[in-house]
Each structure stands twice: as C-alpha cells, then as structure tokens.
Amino acid sequence: MAIWVHEDKGIFHLQSKGMSYIIELVNDYPAHVYWGRRLRHGSNLEGLRPPVTGGSLDRLPQEYPQYGTGDFRIPAYQAKLEDGTRVTELRYSGYRVLAGKPKLAGLPAVYVESEEEADTLELILRDDYAKLEVVLRYTVYAEMDAIARSVEFVNDGQAPLQLLRALSASVDFPAADMDMIYLSGAWSREGHITRRRLEQGGTSIESRRGMSSHQHNPFAALAKHGTDERQGEVYGFSLVYSGGYEAVAEVDSFGMARLAIGVNSFDFSWRLEPGESFQTPEAVMVYSGQGLGEMSRIYHRLYRTRLSRGQYRDKERPILVNNWEATYFDFNTDKLEAIAAEGAKLGIELFVLDDGWFGKRDADNSSLGDWTEDLRKLPGGLADLAARVNGHGMKFGLWVEPEMISPDSDLYRSHPDWCLHVPGRRRSELRWQLVLDYTREEVRQYIFESLSRIFSSVPVAYIKWDMNRCLTEIGSAQLPPERQGETAHRYVLGLYELLERLTSAFPHILFESCCSGGGRFDPGMLYYMPQTWTSDDTDAVERLKIQYGTSLVYPVSSMGAHVSAVPNHQVGRITPLSFRGDVAMSGNFGYELDLTNFTPEEKELVKVQVANYKEIRSLVQQGSLYRLQSPFEGNETAWMFVSDDQREALVYYFRVLAEPHPPRRTLLLSGLNPEVDYRLADSGEVYGGDRLMQAGLTLPEIQRDFVSGCFRLRAEA
C-alpha cells in the first residue's frame, strides 16, 4: 500500500520506495506537514506541523490555499461568484483512495500499466456557500519517488461561477534556505540552467506566449543550499502542459517558502455553468535526497516509460538525415533523392523532407494551410519521392506545420476567420503567418483530413510537427464574450484532441515535436510525441549547454540532436566532424546537411559514426544518464550512460578550448557497481568500478580546440 490514512487523527501518509508526503487536517483545512525521505508508517507522525498561533491562516501550510480569508500569500485558486464577490473558503469534506491512477479527461498525464504501480488519494473540499466542490488528486508511485497532482473544480450550485485562477499544485516548506533552479534562454539558446537563492518576496517564471516557450520551461526545483549533482535535497515541479504557465516561489515574513505551479493566471478565466467541471493539468513532483542527478533520473524513467506512449516508446530511434540546412526551400526530387542515396550508402536509416514541399512555398511567406504537394518541385508528388527513398532502403519522413496559416494561402482566402484574432484589431504576423484557431472543431477537422489524406497515401514513417510562432490576438470568433478568457487554454485542449486522433489513427508514424526548436519542449507534447527537436541551434559547442540543461528534466530519448555543416548556420563556428558527432550521438542522432558535399574522408568518418551509434543507441536512449562536468561551470563537459544492470557504460568527454601546459586530467565516473571490474573497449585496460568513481579515469592529453572522447566500458564476466 502506498497511501495510509489515520481517520481519527486526520493524517494522510503518501509513501513511495524512498519518500514520504504527509497531509494533516487542521480545523478542516488540509495542511502540508512533511515531504522528504521516507518515514516508517508505524512511527509517530504527529507534531510534524509547525505550531500556528491565533488561528491565523497566514502561517498555516495549506495544501491548496485560498485568498480572502486571512492567508495573504500566493493563492492556488480564485473564483468569482455570480454576485461579483471573489471570496471562497474550501473546507475538508471527505476522501477516496483508489488503486492505480485515473485518466485526466482531455489532458496528457503520466499513467500506470497496472494498478499495483501506484495509488491515488482524492481529497474532497467544499465551499457550501458557493456550492463549489474541489477535488485534490495525488497519485504516488510505489517504485519512484514521484507524486502526480491535479485539481478538479465542480460547480454544484444553481448559478454560474468564474474561475480566475486554477493552479495544479502548491507546496509550503517550513524553511526557505533553498535555491530555485529552472531552465531559461531564448530561441537557439534553450535549456540554460539558472539558479537563484530564495529571498523574502517572490521568484517566478512564466510564459504568456500561449506555448511553454524558449524563454522558460514549465519546470522549477527547490534545492537546499549546497545541493549538487550527487548530494543534497531537491524538490522538483514539472507541469504536463504545453500552453502558458506560471511557477512562483514566495518567501514570507516568517521564513517559510511556498511554490505553486499551473496554468498562467494572466488573461485566464473559465466559466463554470451549474453541473460543469474544470480539470487542471497535472504537476509531477519529484523528491531526491541524492542531488540533482537522482531527481533527473526519476523524471527520465517516469517520462520515458509512463508518459511517452506508442510503438516507439521503447524502440530504438532511427538515424536520420534532414534536408533543411542542405537545401532550404530550393530543391527538386532528384536533389532530394541524391541526398537520400548518399545517406543509404553511409548506413543512415531515414530521410526527412523539411519545409517547402507544399502549395507555392518558395519562402516563409506563403502556403501554410494548403497541404498539397508542389508539383513544380515534386512532379511525381510525395508518393513518387517516398518510393525513390524507399528504393534505397531508407524510410521516408516529412515536415509539417499544421497549427499555422499564411495570409497568402488558399485556406486563408477561403476562411479568413479561422485564425486567432480579435475583431477590429490588427492581426500580428510573425514569420509571415497567423495561428489557426484550434478551439474550433471545424478547423481541427480540416487539418485532420488534410494530414490523414497524406499519411494514408504516402508511406510516411516519421513526422516533424513544427510550430514557428507564439500566440497573439488571443481571441476566437466562435466563443461568446464571457468565454474569451478561455481561448488560450481551449487552444491547447484542441491541439491535444487533434494529436490524440492523429497518433491513434497512425500509430506506425514516429512523431517528433518542434517549435522553432525547443519552444514547446514540455511533458504535454511528450505524451503524444516521444521526441522533440531540442533546438534550432546545431552548433556543437552551444548544444553542450542546451542538451545538458534540458536533461535536468527530460530523458535523452526525447532529445533530437543532429550534425550540421560548418561554418555553423547559427553562430558561424567551425568544429571538427568528430566533435559534432560525439555531441549529437548523446541524443536521437541524425544529420542536417548535404551529404553529397562530403569528401571521401568525411564519408568514411560518417560511416564509422553511424555504425558506432547503432551499437550504442539502446544504451544512450534507454540507459541512466549521469552528468559529470557542467558546461555552465567551465571549459569541459562530461556525461555518461549506464545500463540498468550496471554491466555496460558509455562516457563522453568534451573540451572546448585548448590550454597551454594543462594539468593532468582525471574524470570521476558515476553509476557503476563498485564491486565490479570494467574493461575499456579501446585500450583493453581493466579498472574497478570503485577506482573509476573514487579516483577517476585518466584522460588522454590532446592539444587542440574542440576535443571530444568516447569511452566504452563493459563489466568483466
């Protein structure tokens, strides 16, 4: 059993393999009293809550705090009643314990494959005056130190009410001696790790862009001062959502900290008619007492095996070549076939046709929405190109951007009201395109039929689903005035509904999410698409930071990583092909360049890279990741992958710039069995796992810029 209930004491104890989370009823308010290392259930669990004097809610560590009745910190929700008042007070009404984990209606979420994997606690709260019922759901996994939280609002009354704020989770901590860690950046600079000390007041990250964004990822962690990769306590919060969100940490005047996460309250409202309900997205909370590395590995295992779905969840991902940086919009069937033919000779398994194949798309400024082949470039259509690619023994993949519409398109000329817009206001074009209104069923149906026609007539094995701009003029011609504040969230719900239909109808297709790179790298998209294009920046040096930071939450199996041409198209840097390959092989490997331009020497190196990756990809994509040296802290980066049985390991080391007369370097490894001896594949030398982790692996001395090394370890029989 993962959930224990002391009804007489009002205590709810959620327990996993290494973690406990405890709730106590205080005057019918669910209070948060403990989250940390596992406590024995038989031990005395009373007295964990700090004393609250004078009945003040301002010091009570509430599980789902409200505003207006004495708690002046960040509220988790706010409702506006028909009489215009905005004061509600939720009190405990009852509970349910369920085996397994119920699905969330219309929303992605982590799941179980058997009821024994997890238990779910539902705490039922009510405001009798407003006739508002709120159900707090907690699913605790038995073998992973993770809790999935969400909230359902039900209008039990006879009058409508308006939700103005509806967050997914809120946790109070008894002390604020912690740092907030999150991922920040911009287009082509995603996934950079930021760490800030909590001080009195608020620390927040958010997106108001209608997508999870390049600027911040829907993830935040609170870590004790001094916590690093290997040691220290850390509490992770990850939102399974692809739209605008907020994560706010607040330290009050008593030195207590509160972190809340959920759909962004800015410009949000939701009208609840009598009998209707509203379900928040899910927040996945992870506890680690062994540093940031262990937190990441819990997220990786959970998201790789119990968030991602479909045929490709546990499969090795194909090595691909994408034509985008090779040709951009200037291509024809013969040129594309030539790249595919060269790729086949090198052992590459999948050819992907990127932007420019439809309508009259010779640049970014037209044809989105017109999903028919451009017969000027492809006289035989997609089917002919796919047949040629298949004839070389390669699978065929395709780029689409189905959430967008170009003003210069047949679709827009026929349906100018199908985009998000506000009547009488300017329609902001970003990248010469507008956003389709996915709140509308007829729009989603048009896209479903357009794509289904292609997927049914062309042997498509892979789809790169792109989104190249954020949401502006967020309004819908279909929604009445009192529901316009629902548009952004309804857009995301519409996207999820369409993705569920498409991925269910075409389960053989490997879908990869993209949003100008990592602009929508979030758990919500991973539920439908098991991998994401990590960044449009393919420079190997920049990718060290991008991939390292992204791995704080997301498994390597979710990260697309490609070798591109030099000088790099984003930063102009020239790096060796070997260095670019080693960086890209630490993800879902591929190439994004013109293979026909390679020299014979480069082709031989690519053959070796492709062959090597085929040998190691199961370990890279399914193994446990250990981060060894951070690119945010110096000139060197290192990480390693370890098999579940600890019999095999793969170590990557990178040094960006050479140093004069450098010191002798050793690299401390992690995750090995200290009692086992390991043989280095290249040299044949044998070292004990304890020696490699405590004394380290000696690195070769190479004097040049952009050095990389790969070390394979296998346990002795």
Catalogue the active-site residues: 466, 536
Q: Structure tokens of 570?
A: 């984003």
Contacts of 523 (CB under 8 A, 6+ apart): 108, 218, 238, 239, 240, 241, 284, 303, 307
Burial environment of residue 431 by CB neighbours within 10 A (0 to 12, 13 to 18, 19 or more): middle
Q: What are phi and psi of 575, to 5 degrees?
A: -125, 155
Q: Structure tokens of 599?
A: 């020299």
Contact 693, 670 (CB under 8 A): yes
Contact 186, 517 (CB under 8 A): no
* Tokens 């920040």 found at: 184
Q: Structure tokens of 663?
A: 């010191």
Three-state DSSP class for 589? strand
- In eight-state DSSP terms, residue 439 is T
Contact 470, 430 (CB under 8 A): yes
Residue 299 CA: distances (Å) to CA of 96, 178, 237: 27, 21, 10
Contact 152, 80 (CB under 8 A): no
Q: What are phi and psi of 382, to 5 degrees?
A: -65, -35
The closest alpha carbon to 526, from 491, 557, 562, belongs to: 557
Three-state DSSP class for 251? strand
CB atoms < 10 A from the CB of 151, how many? 25
Determine the residue type at 524: G
CB atoms < 10 A from the CB of 710, how many? 17
The closest alpha carbon to 228, from 168, 262, 179, 190, belongs to: 179
Beta bridge partners of 240: 282
Burial environment of residue 715 by CB neighbours within 10 A (0 to 12, 13 to 18, 19 or more): middle
d(CA 222, CA 362): 48
348-376 burial code (b ≥16 CB/10 A, e <16): bbbbbbbbbbbbebeebebbbbbbebbee
Contacts of 591 (CB under 8 A, 6+ apart): 320, 321, 322, 343, 348, 562, 563, 564, 606
300-339 burial code (b ≥16 CB/10 A, e <16): bbbbbbbbbbbebeeebbbbbbbbbbbbeeebebebbbeb
* Tokens 């049914």 found at: 456
